[in-house]
Structure 1
Amino acid sequence: MARLTSYLLGGATLVCALGTGYVMQYGFALPQQGGKAPEPRLEISEIKQTSSAVVLPMIPVDRPPEAQLPEPPVVVKAAAEVDLPQADLPEAPAETGFSCDMTMTATPTAGALVDVELIAPCRASERVTIHHQGMMFTEVIQPDGSLSVTVPALAEQAVFIASFASGEGTLASTDVSSLPFYDRVVVQWKGEAGLQLHAREFDAGYFTDGHIWAAHAGNLTAAAKGEGGFLTRMGRADTPEALAAEVYSFPAGTAKRGGEILLSVEAEVTAGNCETQVEAQTLEIRDGGDLRTRDLTLQMPSCEVLGDFLVLKNLVEDMTIAAR
């Protein structure tokens, strides 16, 4: 009985094996029924990389797994490995400050005049008073911090001082060897005094060639030839309460003609000085002598006579010139 059971189990196993093989080859359709043939497999012949990413090489099949991975890329630090040239950068200046130092020079010129140059970088457009042997006048520094004026010398060893309202100032000096050849008369005042200095050379009439005043000041050419004098006006009259001066110079030491020069100070009655008291001063140097000064106080008339002139003949002495 046991042997019969073993035969039956073996036969059943054989039938199942045959059936499974048939189905694997033909499917569930019978050969004689014309069933559909299995579709062919898709074969890959070539692969082209189209990505921009880095592609690792294909792993050869004959290499062991631990040797099939690519070595990691070497990262090169160019900045650390390349020697760049050393650039020479400009150095900042050691000192960049702005100097406020003032300088002043005095240079003698023809006619016993002196060119005064003042440099005051931090005093642009400020008022400044120039002092020389008692003569004083107001000037204004240029916007660039400079000032240039020509001053009639009143001493052979001439000293010039520039002073500002703050109390600061500077000075310069020079020798004026030609001064003994000139006689000089100065009239100076403050504000709107309306004063004028007039010189009528060799008894010349008013408003003729020999009449030297602000409107007809003469020239250095005539003075150099010993033929006539000239007038120099100092100070800025367009600034409030300014100090001003007028200086008449005559080459007495080289004059080609002898005679009298009539000197006078005149005061015009204006809206700025009428009914006020005007103060002024005269300075004189003659024949190479010492400087002489004289103060003047004048009571101006009523404002009803605007435009009139007061003639002060005895304030300064006339000049007597001897021909050389």
Structure 2
Amino acid sequence: MRVNPRFINAGAIFVIAFSTGYVMQNADALAARFGGNDKPDQVRLDTTAQVEADIAAPLAELSEEEPLVPVEPAVAALGRPATQAYASRLAELLPEPEPEPEPAPLCEASLTAKAKPSAMLALEITAPCEAGKRVEIRHEALVFAETLDSSGKLQIQMPVLREAAHVTAQFSDGQVLATSAVIPDLAEFERIGLQWQGETGVELHAFEFGAARGHPGHIHAGNPRSPRRAELLGAGFMVKLGSAQDGPQAEIYSFPAADAQYEGMVRMSVELAVSEANCGREIQAQALRAATDGEIEPMDLSLSVPACDSVGEFLVLNNLLRDMSIAAN
């Protein structure tokens, strides 16, 4: 085993100092015991010199060795490949983490309304937890059902029947949303609506100023026109409400009577296509009329559909609804 030279140097110096002091203090006693010399001073000097010589010899040998260099402690370095291998092995031993569950959607629902030109109301429903579900919308006596998209949203425009329009939206779980808006130009329009439940095959038709069937003035679900037509041409348009085939549906025809450019009649009729779904049945419907004076006139209708051997035929009912009388302004 190698002894650190620094410890040897320190020990040698200590021994020299200790021995020198001891000899100098006990020189007479040592001379009397070991030499029997009558000259104690000579014994003390000889003895001291000998001790110093004996101790100095090892020091001389140590001084001839190579200079001492501090030894750094050995540190084992872990190479990158070993680290990667360890990490890979550790990953194999550890269980795979379970996937984090997707956050639940916020279930807060909202219904907003904004007035639009031609006495229309823009509705927007946001209900993330009702995505893909049906919602029933009510305004005065008007009822129809729509279906929310995959994100729980619905945007539609509907004609209103009251200037201070109040609208509710009810979901299948009983939750009800409500909103209101003022429609300042409703007094400029006359409106007639027809609503029903399920697949009845009924349709509302308007023939403006003597228009023949299939002509531009023949307004129906297949040729509804748009609210923009009322603004630009002073002519009528129709809106279909309700996307659920087995739910409540409606069609509403609007004419800007206050700004009419022509005088005449708009003939209203109800038509029904006989099908396997309605043949031989008694169809219940309701007509709604909103006049420029703000009054709403509901009227219940009962329609007898011909037998199923008449499938494919059309039933035209001209006397169920009162025609619009338009005065030029």
Query: If the length of structure 1 is used for normalisation, what is the TM-score?
Result: 0.70
Aligned residue among 141, 148, 152 for 2:155 = 148
Aligned residue among 194, 198, 205 for 1:198 = 205
Deviations 1:18-42 (A, max 9, x none): xxxxxxxxxxxxxxxxxxxxxxxxx
Q: Which residue of 2 aligns with 1:296?
A: 301
Q: Which residue of 2 aligns with 1:218?
A: 225
Cα pair distance change 1:61/1:146, threshold 3 Å: closer
User: Aligned partner of 1:319: which letter?
Assistant: M
Cα pair distance change 1:218/1:183, threshold 3 Å: same
Q: Which residue of 2 aligns with 1:314?
A: 319
Say whether 1:60 aligns with 2:8.
yes
Higher helix share: 2
Aligned residue among 257, 267, 273 for 2:272 = 267
Local SS of the residue matching 1:63: helix
Deviations 1:104-128 (A, max 9, x none): 1110101100001111121111100
Greater CA drift, 195-204 or 287-296: 287-296
Between the aligned partners of 1:193 and 1:259, the Cα distance in structure 2 is 31
Q: Which residue of 2 aligns with 1:131?
A: 138
Deviations 1:225-251 (A, max 9, x none): 353100000010xx3521110000000
Asked if the contact 2:195/2:287 (under 8 Å) is kept, the reply is yes
Asked if the contact 1:187/1:197 (under 8 Å) is kept, the reply is yes
Aligned residue among 182, 201, 216 for 1:175 = 182
Between the aligned partners of 1:283 and 1:60, the Cα distance in structure 2 is 118
Q: Which residue of 2 aligns with 1:39?
A: none
Which consecutive unaligned segments of at least 5 residues does structure 1 have?
Answer: 1-48, 50-54, 68-72, 76-95
Larger-gyration structure (1/2): 1
Local SS of the residue matching 1:186: strand
Local SS of the residue matching 1:253: helix
Aligned residue among 102, 105, 109 for 1:102 = 109
Aligned residue among 176, 179, 184 for 2:191 = 184
| Deviation of 1:98 (Å) | 5.3
| Deviation of 1:146 (Å) | 1.2
Between the aligned partners of 1:124 and 1:219, the Cα distance in structure 2 is 29
Asked if the contact 2:105/2:128 (under 8 Å) is kept, the reply is no
Say whether 1:258 aligns with 2:263.
yes
Say whether 1:166 aligns with 2:173.
yes
Q: Which residue of 2 aligns with 1:284?
A: 289
| Deviation of 1:63 (Å) | 3.0
Asked if the contact 1:181/1:288 (under 8 Å) is kept, the reply is no
Q: Which residue of 2 aligns with 1:121?
A: 128
Cα pair distance change 1:126/1:258, threshold 3 Å: same
Say whether 1:243 aligns with 2:259.
no
Asked if the contact 2:111/2:177 (under 8 Å) is kept, the reply is yes
User: Aligned partner of 2:118: which letter?
Assistant: G
Between the aligned partners of 1:200 and 1:275, the Cα distance in structure 2 is 28
User: Aligned partner of 1:128: which letter?
Assistant: V
Q: Percent identity?
A: 34
User: Aligned partner of 1:258: which letter?
Assistant: E
| Deviation of 1:294 (Å) | 0.6
Between the aligned partners of 1:295 and 1:226, the Cα distance in structure 2 is 33
Asked if the contact 1:226/1:254 (under 8 Å) is kept, the reply is no
Structure 1 residue ranges (4+ consecutive) displaced by more than 4 angstroms after TM superposition: none
| Deviation of 1:62 (Å) | 8.5
Cα pair distance change 1:203/1:145, threshold 3 Å: same
User: Aligned partner of 1:257: which letter?
Assistant: Y
Deviations 1:256-280 (A, max 9, x none): 1000111001011011111222111
Between the aligned partners of 1:246 and 1:228, the Cα distance in structure 2 is 17
Between the aligned partners of 1:157 and 1:61, the Cα distance in structure 2 is 109
Question: Paired residues, what number?
Answer: 242
Asked if the contact 1:226/1:251 (under 8 Å) is kept, the reply is no
| Deviation of 1:60 (Å) | 3.3
Between the aligned partners of 1:176 and 1:191, the Cα distance in structure 2 is 30
| Deviation of 1:221 (Å) | 3.0
Asked if the contact 2:279/2:308 (under 8 Å) is kept, the reply is yes
CA RMSD of aligned residues (A): 2.4
Q: Which residue of 1 aligns with 2:214?
A: 207
Between the aligned partners of 1:143 and 1:61, the Cα distance in structure 2 is 90
